[in-house]
């Protein structure tokens, strides 16, 4: 049986990840892949061009901006990260994949970065500080209501 869709009345807060949120909070795996692609590009430039040439230096810095600075734009375009907070659920949508987490199964792991334990798995959420604060507040309300 399919879960009912979340109605507008149930949504407390919805956020579409911004470039800066994605850039600052993207998962480590994304950063590793970006770095490997950049290293490959540098290696190919070194093989085909002289490192002393001006064109090499321009292409080197250009690839730095394209691969490391442009990757969050690619994630934003392809994945369209969307986070929805309801009274009792966190809904994470990355691309066509949507996951729902009961707030009783969500735990904040850091007060400095939006790193959460979702069903026992540590995940970076690519959200703003405002969304992370609202999520922390809602988690506190859920825990307080559960203790009664």
pLDDT in tens, 56-103: 999 999 998 998 889 999 999 999 999 999 999 999 999 999 999 999
> What single DSSP character describes residue 128?
-
Asked whether residue 142 falls in the same domain as residue 123, the answer is yes
SS3 26: coil
> What single DSSP character describes residue 52?
T
Give the total number of structural domains in the chain: 2
Mean pLDDT of the chain: 90
Q: Is residue 3 part of a domain?
A: no
Q: Quick check: 95 and 78 in contact, CB under 8 A? A: yes
Percent of the chain with pLDDT over 90: 80
DSSP letters for 59-121: HHHHHHIIIIISHHHHHHHHH--EEEEESSEEEEEETTEEEEEEGGGEEE--SSS-EEEETTE
Q: Is residue 32 part of a domain?
A: yes
CA angle 134, 90, 17 (to 5 degrees): 70
Domain span at 103:
81-146
Q: Is residue 13 part of a domain?
A: no
90 vs 104: CA distance, rounded Å = 10
- Model pTM score: 0.83
pLDDT band of 4, cuts 50, 70, 90: low
Measure Cα distances from 140 to 19, 75, 115, 129, 146 in Å. Answer: 28, 31, 16, 16, 10
Q: Is residue 57 part of a domain?
A: yes
111 vs 32: CA distance, rounded Å = 24
């Amino acid at each position: 049986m399919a879960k009912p869709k979340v109605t507008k009345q149930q949504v407390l807060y919805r956020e579409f990840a911004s470039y800066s949120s994605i850039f600052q909070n993207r998962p480590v795996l994304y950063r590793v892949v970006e770095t490997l692609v950049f290293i490959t590009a540098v290696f190919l430039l070194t093989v085909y061009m002289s490192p002393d040439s001006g064109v090499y230096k321009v292409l080197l810095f250009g690839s730095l901006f394209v691969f490391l600075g442009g990757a969050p734009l690619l994630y934003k375009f392809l994945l369209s990260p969307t986070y929805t907070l309801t009274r009792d659920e966190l809904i994470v949508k990355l691309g066509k994949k949507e996951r729902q987490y009961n707030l009783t199964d969500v735990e904040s792991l850091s007060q400095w970065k939006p790193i959460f334990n979702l069903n026992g798995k540590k995940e970076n959420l690519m959200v703003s500080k405002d969304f992370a604060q609202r999520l922390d507040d809602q988690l506190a309300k859920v825990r307080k209501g559960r203790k009664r």
